[in-house]
Structure 1
């Protein structure tokens, strides 16, 4: 790599050594993403920029989607990063905010034919990534008094903003969990993988949340999934209990508080 190109990459300088103006920077960014030549930067230097961008994007996806990276490999992640850059460009300087469209990209790619569960794994991993970046509020214990002082028809439960419920046709949470527990993908048990896929139900459900400053994903059953959806939709406690009589509310509430699913109880009066 020649010296002008090194300066160009490291210091936002053009090939003549002068700092890029705002217009030149904008033209350069356009060149990088469209492979055009509006900025006047020599093709060799532009190629270095483009390669660095692709490598950075691939590293970013690997950090955000570590299980997916285990499942498809480094080369496939690099190709996915290239395609995602062409489809959905970063809108901020924070790479952690980029990559949310990857599940949709995978679902429309050739990977979906032979590995239809990969899009669901990516969706779960993005939810885990987002949960780890969201704020979690301490539960308002004073709000528990509403359970005895107010009409259940007027009571609603408020979940943490980081909590997400997901539905998939494939057991993506068990697959995700198995890969997370295995440092070396080559050592994964074939029997364990086959067992997960063979024992899958017609639909699989998961809840993603942050607990003790760490994101987590947990498999839940259909009724728990529907209950959490009802809570998110603002159903009253009375309506929830009528719709899902199989839920032990006292047990669920204790678990939800312990695992930081819920931040407060509210009255609609």
Structure 2
């Protein structure tokens, strides 16, 4: 038997689908149709507000009207199915990458992707390192041992300096973005850029990575054993990395 909370979520999802599937071809009376349009618009504004909270840099870059337009399109592809707007919006970067804006502003979807990682890292449950597993590094068979990173940690490759773009828009309320610096970042930056998002001390953190660091993290996240990691990435100072991974709260276990 389904729990009351599961039933509620399903009813909410069904209601949202019903509301946003209605259009002007429906045979309902004008009065009912008008009421439905008002309700749809109220929900659209609620959804747009949820998007602006998740993607504040994107909103600064494109403006509130464009955010509303994106939200309207997103609701046709992805409806909140948990009953909580906070869980909704993961498909926005993909939607932007398929929009006409992507032809001249491909960086927008990349900035949105980074912002989703930041949002997720900020709201994920805090994880603590399993200190007792550190002794696994003393085992003789390191091919049977792997590094387990925080589920909040994400790495990202982009042809745009997304970290720098994100950081440039971290201005105080009422402050203005340096348009000259923004132009500089968007022109002539075709080389790959690498970024990482993680949770530390209950906050989302961002940092840039070198290509070597990015390759290392990708292999760690893929579950590569410690022995294979050390053989493949000989440029990494493993002892220093372990110390940093513990202090920065990247590492949760070695086993």
1:137 aligned onto 2:127: yes
Aligned-pair Cα RMSD in Å = 2.4
Q: Which consecutive residues of structure 1, in runs of 5 or more, have no partner in the other structure?
A: 1-21
Write the mapping of 1:33-72 to structure 2, written as runs, cut at 5 A.
33-35=21-23, 37=26, 42-72=32-62
In the comparison of the two structures, how many residue pairs are matched? Answer: 243
Question: Would the alpha carbon gap of residues 250 and 62 (structure 1) be closer, same or farther in structure 2, given more than 3 Å must change?
Answer: same
Q: Which of 254, 259, 262 does residue 251 from structure 2 map onto?
A: 262
Q: Tell me the alpha carbon deviations over residues 230-253 of structure 1, each in whole angstroms, 9 at most, x when there is no partner.
A: 111111111111111111111111
Question: Would the alpha carbon gap of residues 96 and 38 (structure 1) be closer, same or farther in structure 2, given more than 3 Å must change?
Answer: farther
Alignment check: 8 A CA contact 2:245 2:251 kept: yes
Alignment check: 8 A CA contact 2:168 2:178 kept: no
Write the mapping of 1:1-269 to structure 2, written as runs, cut at 5 A.
30-35=18-23, 37=26, 42-184=32-174, 187-198=176-187, 200=189, 202-266=191-255
Q: Tell me the alpha carbon deviations over residues 182-223 of structure 1, each in whole angstroms, 9 at most, x when there is no partner.
A: 5446x2223322343357362111111111111122211111
Higher relative contact order (CA 8 A, sep 6+): 2
Q: Tell me the alpha carbon deviations over residues 21-55 of structure 1, each in whole angstroms, 9 at most, x when there is no partner.
A: x99x9578514433264777712211110110110
The structural deviation recorded for 1:72 is: 0.5
The structural deviation recorded for 1:76 is: 0.5
Question: Would the alpha carbon gap of residues 245 and 51 (structure 1) be closer, same or farther in structure 2, given more than 3 Å must change?
Answer: same
2:4 maps to which residue?
none
TM-score (norm 1): 0.83
Q: Tell me the alpha carbon deviations over residues 115-150 of structure 1, each in whole angstroms, 9 at most, x when there is no partner.
A: 110000000111111122222321122222222244
Q: Which consecutive residues of structure 2, in runs of 5 or more, have no partner in the other structure?
A: 1-9
Determine the C-alpha separation between the residues in 1 that align with 2:121 and 2:67. 22
2:7 maps to which residue?
none
Query: Which protein shows a greater Rg?
Result: 1
TM-score (norm 2): 0.87
